[in-house]
Homo-oligomer: A and B are copies of this chain.
Amino acid sequence: MVQKTHSTAPATQPPVETGSCEAPRSALSMFGTETHMGATIFYDQNSEIYGENEPADYVYKVLSGTVRTYKVLNDGRRQVGAFYLPGDVFGLEIGDEHTFSAEAITDSSILVVKRSTIIAQASRDNSVARELWAATARELRRTQDHLLLLIKNAQERVAAFLLEMADRSHSAGAIELPMSRQDIADYLGLTIETVSRTLTHFETAAAIELPRSRRIVLRNRSALHKLNA
């Protein structure tokens, strides 16, 4: 089992690897489930994992919790780039700096691996190189889908978001949203008022139930799906 550091990592500060970092068997394992390299770090809710333009020396994998990446535009608006759930890899760059900032949305445990280690492995092991490429390609695909969302209307965006979260959290009954309405709004390019109104509209239309503001039950998936491309 992965050893657990219980030092809430200070924001921005590069993670300190803890003792139990075993001999790296394969950097590929970074992306697998039975990994044995890197360090596990705990981040408190809303703490920064890294900032935009900081050196991209590490690659991250969510073990538990949820992470958002985002950019703040010069006029103060924030655009959320993605939400990362357990199992998701984030922060992998080919350049030397992170292009987005990353924060823990909830208390999170994150597996942190040195990028240089992975890249060194990739130069020896084809399958690792391929995995690096694949990770970036997945990110590209996700970004393309996100881009297509932003040209749709509010109902379509919110519906797509709910279906995406339902898929990814693969929990049978209700979706438990870790993020705030503001996070959702900034992801969808809407205001929090519009997100809220759209959700109540879906509830009125019996497409969803909202037992609590962060718990959503999809009642009529196909109705939500019909709103999409």
- A interface residues, Cβ below 8 angstroms from B: 71, 73-75, 77, 79, 81, 93-95, 99-100, 122-123, 126, 129-130, 132-134, 136-137, 139-141, 143-144, 146-148, 150-152, 189, 228-229
Copies in the complex: 2
The reply to whether B133 and A129 contact each other, CB–CB distance below 8 Å, is: yes
Contact of A136 among B73, B123, B136 (CB under 8 A): B136
Contact A144 B81, CB 8 Å, known A94-B134, A129-B122, A137-B94:
yes
- Knowing that A94-B137, A100-B144, A126-B129 touch, tell me 18 more A-B residue pairs with CB under 8 angstroms: A73-B151, A74-B229, A77-B151, A81-B144, A93-B137, A94-B134, A95-B137, A122-B126, A123-B126, A129-B129, A129-B130, A132-B133, A133-B136, A136-B136, A143-B147, A147-B147, A150-B150, A150-B189
Closest CB-CB distance, A75 to chain B, in whole Å? 7
